[in-house]
Structure 1
Amino acid sequence: MKKKHLVTIKGTKNGLSLHLNDNCSFEELKQELASKLSESSGMHGDRTDITVNVELGYRYLTADQQEEITSLIQSKKNLSVHSINSMIVTKQEAEKWASENELVSVTSIVRSGQILEVPGDLLLIGDVNPGGKVVAGGNIFIMGQLKGVAHAGCNGNDQAIVAASVMRPTQLRISSLINRAPDHYPEKEKRDMECAYVDNSVILIDRLQVLTHLRPNLTKLEGGL
């Protein structure tokens, strides 16, 4: 029977990609990795600082095991580990992802001096009064009047949006961008629900309907916008 390779080394335009078998023991993997690195060391000539990306597949490595793999690879003077990638998601990573992608619904009035903050998307059924502030890691949907501060995508997500039934904020923020309020808002008997979004590093405000084309996969609610 042909022996199965536990380590596959592929050259890329950015350096080397090491694919490590995820169905063998860690000790077997280290042994073959050391052997393969020794065999290939003469193939790189005088090149220095060759970037190595390690692909673990469905193998989980502890921090100590990752350090062992890194040390083994970098013991070859011209190799430098750039990343170690695994298809395994830890419980902490899964919980973080879930919280950042959760839609939190709140029925309340955010009054002056109050701050309402959620890690993911926020659906607020109520108003944000002047002096009040709402912050979300994702999108902000306000079924009411926005007259305070709204900060969407606070962790750097410039694809986030702010939508409100009445859009009269004292300040809008999306990611690191800021849009300050005009000196006055025009009086209208009836206003369409509006949204704020980033386009070419500028926060724009438009009718909610534009999001159908600009952010077609925006909401997690069934049916979308």
Structure 2
Amino acid sequence: MSNYILVEVNVVNRQKQQYVTIKGTKEGLTLHLDDTCSFKELLAEIETKLTSNSNPDDSPLLGVRLKVGNRYLTNKQQEKLRNVIRSKKNFIVEEIESNVMTKEQAIQWKEENEIVPVAKMIRSGQVLEVNGDLLLIGDVNPGGTVKAGGNIFILGALRGNAYAGLAGNNQSVIAASLLKPTLLSINETLNRSPDFSEQTEGSNEMECAYIDDQERIVIDRLQLLSQLRPMLTRLERRM
């Protein structure tokens, strides 16, 4: 009699890895894209998934946000993603969020977020401008101007002009030991001296200016700044 050996073969059905995860929100769709697969594989799966999720022709325009994780996308790759999504009915890319940036973008981010200390008096006709936050140790005389992409902090008297939030940030603030400006501007909101507080020259209370919920520049006590703009104390909370 022949001897037979029974060999058991285990067949494992491996489910194909998903490179694209779609989550719906009231603002639209969020696509979480795998950052380990090839870009070609990513495009193919987006094409397949959005085809199955496409809307009727008469549906309203639906915004799509892409979260690409630790994948760096060139401008050409970003445009390819936009084109694939735009080719589907009523889909449009509103934002591409990546954890990776170029060296040039990192330098720009640093310049826009760093605090630039300057010790001098800004006299009439002089203009001091920085990309990030300005920390001025000195006075700004009438006719003098200080400008910053972010916040302005003045350890001295502000009697001239101050422009904060030039990088487009409505959350920027202006603070000074003595706040008696000729003009204040935060982002694109302006306010002139007749609307400001009645702080006297002898007062020791520092004040700050910020934009409130009604899109107006408001002057208030500096002590309230940590409540109004909690992100200003983000470094302290991490310690």
* Structure-1-length-normalised TM-score: 0.81
What amino acid sits opposite 2:100 in the alignment?
I
Question: What is the match of residue 195 of structure 1?
Answer: 208
Question: Residues 13 and 161 (structure 1 numbering): CA distance in 2 closer, same or farther, change over 3 Å?
Answer: closer
Question: Residues 81 and 102 (structure 1 numbering): CA distance in 2 closer, same or farther, change over 3 Å?
Answer: closer
Question: What is the match of residue 180 of structure 1?
Answer: 192
Alignment of 1:77-116 (within 5 A): 77-116=89-128
Question: Residues 143 and 52 (structure 1 numbering): CA distance in 2 closer, same or farther, change over 3 Å?
Answer: closer
TM-superposition CA deviations, 1:89-135 (whole Å, max 9, x none): 33233222221211111000111111011112111111111111011
| 2:13 counterpart of 1:3 | no
| 2:44 counterpart of 1:23 | no
Question: What is the match of residue 218 of structure 2?
Answer: 204
Question: Residues 47 and 145 (structure 1 numbering): CA distance in 2 closer, same or farther, change over 3 Å?
Answer: same
Question: Residues 116 and 6 (structure 1 numbering): CA distance in 2 closer, same or farther, change over 3 Å?
Answer: same
* Structure-2-length-normalised TM-score: 0.77
Question: Residues 56 and 181 (structure 1 numbering): CA distance in 2 closer, same or farther, change over 3 Å?
Answer: same
The question of whether the paired residues in 1 share the 8 Å contact of 2:179 and 2:199 is answered with no
Alignment of 1:69-84 (within 5 A): 69-84=81-96
Q: 1:188, CA displacement in angstroms?
A: 4.6
**1:130 aligned residue (118, 142, 147):** 142
Larger radius of gyration: 2
Aligned length: 221
DSSP 3-state at the match of 2:232: coil
RMSD of the TM alignment (CA)?
Answer: 3.0
What amino acid sits opposite 2:209 in the alignment?
A
Alignment of 1:165-176 (within 5 A): 165-176=177-188
DSSP 3-state at the match of 1:64: helix
Q: 1:145, CA displacement in angstroms?
A: 1.7
DSSP 3-state at the match of 1:117: strand
DSSP 3-state at the match of 1:84: strand
DSSP 3-state at the match of 1:29: helix
Identity level (%)? 53
Q: 1:169, CA displacement in angstroms?
A: 1.5
Distance in 1 between residues matched to 2:154 and 2:79, nearest whole Å: 47
Tell me whether 27-36 or 143-152 shows the greater mean CA deviation: 27-36
Question: Residues 2 and 160 (structure 1 numbering): CA distance in 2 closer, same or farther, change over 3 Å?
Answer: same
TM-superposition CA deviations, 1:5-64 (whole Å, max 9, x none): 2233444444444332211112222333334445x16x6455544443333222222111
DSSP 3-state at the match of 1:100: helix
